[in-house]
Structure 1
Amino acid sequence: MSRYDIPAPMLAKAASSVPDPATKPMLYEPKWDGFRGLIAWDGETVEIGSRGAKPLTRYFPELVEQLAGILPGPCLLDGEIVVATGPDGAQRLDWEALSQRIHPAASRVAKLAVETPAMFIAFDLLADGDEDLQPLPFRERRARLERMLANARSPLHLTRTTDDPELARRWLAEFEGAGLDGIVAKPLDDPYAPGKRALIKVKHARSADVVALGYRVHKSGSGVGSLLVGLYGDDGVLRQVGGVAAWSNAMRQQLVDELEPLVERDASGDVVTGEGERSRFTGAKDVSFVRLRPERVLEVRYDQLEGARFRHTVQFERWRPDRDARSCTYDQLDTVPGYDLADVLE
């Protein structure tokens, strides 16, 4: 058992633009798209805590083994666990490869640890030996983190920072090409605040017109829980690309009535259901959904793509009765120039 009590990580609230440091000194960092991790190294064992209550130690044996030989002394680090894939000179973060690591079979985890090894990107130092650094301002914690990791080597990396908001805005535009998903602004004079949204995150915001192809019933058993949406590929096939959730109670019930004319039924009049994609995170969760005729178009807000799907849950903007469903294709989505992950790590 580690000598450290791993706290809940400090969190961030969303902003629409990179904040100006005129009234409050800020340090800006790339926002890494991975698993939040707190690394506790007591000189004998490495433990990895997560943003939730689930320990991550067993899923990243390569980090446990290698960090023990890299860290200069007992410490508690806050950072992000990421996996990179792609050829040299064109590597990028790979969320799908990272998410595959959450697997119940130790043999599978061990295999993936060799095939797609993880890295840890450190961005805060919460304890140094027996000294609790959380009450110190971030500028002091960052300075001590830089000294501690001056000679660090892969898979341990120190995130880059800047105090220049213009450079941060450039990072916001460029680093997405390497799979990162935004910028985080951190007040330099603030102490560490476990579980509090005291940081500021700026992510990419875009819109797209998508087709409603089905809905899942809310967990209460009544109303629409999430609306599944899709886009047409070059082959003319409608593919599920994500879901819209966070409806109010009133809207959940209203949507059932609004979507009723589109519900697919068989020859007997029974509702036709589909089976949604199942992941390692859904487990035994019911992923069935009510199928809709692909006729209704809606505009949604999204931040980025992961492969052919939206990376996160998208937000409803408005219905688009003026749009033909067949016109909702991938062509409308932004394409991001590639950017080598190695240039972000340096």
Structure 2
Amino acid sequence: MPEAPVWTLEPKWDGWRCQIHTAGGRVWSRHGTDLSAAFSDVAAAAVALPDAVLDGELVAVLDDGSGVAFDRLQSRAGRRGPRRGADFTVHVALFDVLAVGDTDWRPRPYAERRIELLRLLEDGPATLRAVPTTQDHGQALKWIGALAGVEGLVGKRTDGLYAAGLASGWVKWRERHTTEAVVIGVTGTTPAAQALVLGRPTGGRMRPVGVSLPLTQPVRLAVAPLLHAAGEELRELSGTVGGLPGAAPVRFWPVKLEVVVEIEVDHERLEFGRYRHRPRVRRVRGDLTPETLEEGH
């Protein structure tokens, strides 16, 4: 994480990135999808703010006070607003200003945009709030454990201009976790693209939980001699199980369930039966067998 005084840190929430157009009460995804109907409660709340374009994160705050739940946001897909009996409320953690009225604020320094964001949200709806910021590393790290739903930190230069995508200059730091998984297959047509299909025991059987990132050369050389083919035909894995919603199925060569690997994930628990983001394989766990892994995760 950056430590120079010119940097400020804020929590990275586990939600959906969004852009809010307050004047028209519109909510857009980072890919340009109009979410205004599905999040009509957010759109209605945004109208109470001054005319502006704001950048933030949709988060599902559980009513029991236990934190936020990413999977609840998906329950809004295809719906028009809140569902009767839902156990959460959608909030927006706002962190930037792109425009105010007809004025483009993107060329202005982040420090100025932050002040304007706080002004715009003053006395606004309780579900639309600015993320906290700090230049104290100790305070920022405490957010990881103390605020449920914070999956990491984002560093921003106080003198930085607003830029889209990879040009933003933001530095992201994500908390990582390690666990074990069984190798159930291999995918990838070239050595540089080879990845492992991973499984975990659930309900008395081995179920696929994800596809790893491409293997590093040391890991590939260590795991290859240990794998033995389980048939001569390619199999298919749903793109969603592979952590790629909407993607084509992943074709892979099945292997015998003999090898356990240590993997690095950004969420300890499975989501919809798989890891949301592709795990990184760290090493072979020769001291473990598939039978030693506990069910569930």
Smaller-chain TM-score bracket: 0.7 to 0.9
Which residue identity is paired with 1:54? T
- Contact map agreement 2:143 2:150 (CA 8 A) in 1: no
User: 1:36: how far off?
Assistant: 0.9
Identical columns (%): 27
Match of 1:59 among 22, 38, 41: 38
Residues 272, 130 of structure 1: CA spacing in aligned structure 2 closer, same or farther, 3 A cutoff?
closer
Structure-1 separation of matches of 2:33 and 2:41: 18
**Larger fraction in helix:** 1
Partner SS for 1:147: helix
Structural mapping, 1:2-13, within 5 Å: none
Instruction: Identify the residue that residue 313 of structure 1 maps to in structure 2.
Output: 278
Instruction: Identify the residue that residue 174 of structure 1 maps to in structure 2.
Output: 146
Partner SS for 2:119: helix
- Contact map agreement 1:62 1:117 (CA 8 A) in 2: no
Instruction: Identify the residue that residue 93 of structure 1 maps to in structure 2.
Output: 68
Instruction: Identify the residue that residue 20 of structure 1 maps to in structure 2.
Output: 3
Instruction: Identify the residue that residue 262 of structure 1 maps to in structure 2.
Output: 228
- Contact map agreement 1:242 1:314 (CA 8 A) in 2: yes
User: 1:140: how far off?
Assistant: 0.9
Instruction: Identify the residue that residue 61 of structure 2 maps to in structure 1.
Output: 84
- Contact map agreement 2:152 2:173 (CA 8 A) in 1: yes
User: 1:112: how far off?
Assistant: 3.9
Stretches of structure 1 that go unaligned for 5 or more consecutive residues are: 1-17, 334-346
Structural mapping, 1:117-266, within 5 Å: 117-175=89-147, 178-195=148-165, 196-216=167-187, 226-232=195-201, 237-247=205-215, 258=224, 262-265=228-231
Which residue identity is paired with 1:77? L
Q: How many pairs align?
A: 290
Stretches of structure 2 that go unaligned for 5 or more consecutive residues are: none
Structural mapping, 1:266-345, within 5 Å: 271=233, 273=235, 275-276=237-238, 278=240, 282-283=245-246, 285-286=248-249, 289-307=252-270, 309-329=274-294
- Contact map agreement 1:274 1:291 (CA 8 A) in 2: no
> C-alpha root-mean-square deviation of aligned residues, in Å?
3.4
User: 1:274: how far off?
Assistant: 5.8
Report 1 or 2 for greater relative contact order, CA contacts < 8 Å, sequence distance ≥ 6. Answer: 1
User: 1:304: how far off?
Assistant: 1.8
User: 1:315: how far off?
Assistant: 1.1
What is the TM-score of this pair, normalised by structure 1? 0.71
Q: Does 1:46 align with 2:31?
A: no
Partner SS for 1:152: coil
Which residue identity is paired with 1:286? P
Structure-2 separation of matches of 1:276 and 1:30: 32
Residues 54, 151 of structure 1: CA spacing in aligned structure 2 closer, same or farther, 3 A cutoff?
same
Partner SS for 2:150: coil
Residues 84, 262 of structure 1: CA spacing in aligned structure 2 closer, same or farther, 3 A cutoff?
farther
- Contact map agreement 1:61 1:113 (CA 8 A) in 2: no
- Contact map agreement 1:263 1:291 (CA 8 A) in 2: yes
Which residue identity is paired with 2:199? G
Partner SS for 2:20: strand
Structure-1 separation of matches of 2:134 and 2:239: 40
Structure-1 separation of matches of 2:98 and 2:84: 27
